[in-house]
Amino acid sequence: MDIRTLFVAMSVSNLAFALGIFLYVKGQHSVHHSISIWGVSRFFAGMGAIILALRGVLLPVPVAIVFANAMIWTAIYLSVIAFKSCLNRPVPELPSTGTVFFGFALAWLAFLLLGIPENMRIVLFSVYFSMALVVISKDLSVGWRDNSILQKFLASFTPFLVAVTVLRGVEAVWHPEEGVFSRDAFQVVAIFIGFVETIATSFGFLLLAKEKTDRELEMQAGTDHLTGLPNRRAFYSMAGKVFSLGKRTGQAMSLLLLDIDHFKKINDRFGHDTGDRVLEAFADILRSATRQCDFLVRLGGEEFGVLMPDTPPGAAGDAAERIRLAVQNCEIRAGDEPIRFTVSTGVYGEDAVSSPDMDRYFRRADHALYRAKSHGRNRVEAGEPQEMDADEAL
């Protein structure tokens, strides 16, 4: 198989991906930012490959070497950034794409002026590409147990590309007379693998980015935008599974229903912006006063809930009292005026979940919350197991 033909095929595939991504991203608002970065990387990779294919045919060899490698190295740099962005990994402050491209172009011009032979330039490329692949593979492998099958596949596929890239560098040292366009079988196979890698990685990345976008949209749909807590719909979906598991294992389960006292008066007197700050402050108190295994929810308005697995009623009451005291001691300011607020809480729990019916917990915790409100507010009331709901009495 002809090397130039492989470079042309690689260029066409990369440029086709870039064009498709640019057309898809245009006018879209829910597309992950990393997809745009990946599209730019495919454009640079495609242009670099076509310049290599034209090396010594329509373009002088030195010009082709400098610009082709600058574009391909920039494409590799952007690929790393795209994966980091897609996987929400930290990205350090780096220069612009144009600056990176011209930096690589100057570096390759220096390589030519210094007389570095072609086989050693291949070694330099192998080292750089291998390092980029290692970074990508490491990012893909973080949180392995919870990763999707697609992410695990990409993390497992990348080391294979590292091995091929390293072997190409070793072969360039072992056979210095063989350059980029040599007809050596290993060179042809390596370029062909690069062509396959272009297609597989591009499809894999786009599927991974879509997977991440869908997950983020799902989280946004189930999250209260003000407090960052799950909303009622997401909470009920999750709570049903927790109750079913609790019924099977016979573990204790408790539920807190919390309502900020006189919240409407805070809104009327200080405005909705201050009311929002009260809600945010209360959500922060809930996070700090509960365990990581507890499930928090903003049920609506000023009403919140905490589902506490493996927690008997007494321990849940103690937690509710800690929350009450933390809220009572909290102070926010509206201009120069300090604002304090309180919370009333209803608690219901069982030492062993007797039924997966979580509505029963909500009804009895709500009855307890009503008593806390009617008995003066800023207090914790516990629902009793012997209490019978009206519908249960029927």
Per DSSP, the three-state class of 322 is: helix
Range list of H helices, the chain: 3-25, 33-53, 61-86, 97-113, 118-141, 149-174, 185-221, 232-249, 263-270, 272-289, 313-328, 358-374, 390-393
| Among the ranges given (34-48, 197-211, 235-249), the one the predictor scored with the smallest mean pLDDT | 235-249
| Gap between the Cα atoms of 228 and 235, Å rounded | 13
| Gap between the Cα atoms of 150 and 212, Å rounded | 11
Q: How does pLDDT run across 78-95, given as a tens digit for each residue?
A: 999 999 999 988 887 778
Question: Is 149's pLDDT higher than 60?
Answer: yes
Question: Is 30's pLDDT higher than 70?
Answer: no
The number of residues in the chain equals 394
What is the pLDDT, as a whole number, of residue 384?
A: 74
Under 8 Å between Cβ of 380 and 372? yes
Which strand ranges, in their side-by-side order, compose the sheet holding 343-350?
295-300, 303-309, 253-260, 343-350, 380-382
**What amino acid occupies position 286?**
L
Under 8 Å between Cβ of 347 and 365? yes
Question: Is 343's pLDDT higher than 80?
Answer: yes
| Among the ranges given (52-56, 215-219, 248-252, 324-328), the one the predictor scored with the smallest mean pLDDT | 215-219
Under 8 Å between Cβ of 22 and 42? no
Please name each of the domains of the chain with its CATH number: 3-221 (1.20.1070.10), 232-393 (3.30.70.270)
Question: Is 183's pLDDT higher than 70?
Answer: no
Q: Is the pTM above the cut of 0.75?
A: no
| Gap between the Cα atoms of 89 and 162, Å rounded | 21
Question: Is 178's pLDDT higher than 70?
Answer: no
Mean pLDDT of 113-133: 92
Under 8 Å between Cβ of 124 and 152? no
Under 8 Å between Cβ of 243 and 253? yes
Under 8 Å between Cβ of 193 and 187? no
| Gap between the Cα atoms of 369 and 379, Å rounded | 9
Q: What are phi and psi of 260, to 5 degrees?
A: -70, 130
User: Which residue's entry shows tokens 């010009």?
Assistant: 63
| Among the ranges given (46-55, 154-163, 206-215), the one the predictor scored with the smallest mean pLDDT | 206-215
Under 8 Å between Cβ of 354 and 385? no
What is the pLDDT, as a whole number, of residue 359?
A: 85
Residue 343, token pair as written in the block: 């919370």
**Among 135, 146, 137, 138, residue whose Cα is nearest residue 211:** 146
Mean pLDDT of 56-63: 89
Q: How does pLDDT run across 191-218, given as a tens digit for each residue?
A: 788 788 888 888 999 889 888 877 777 6
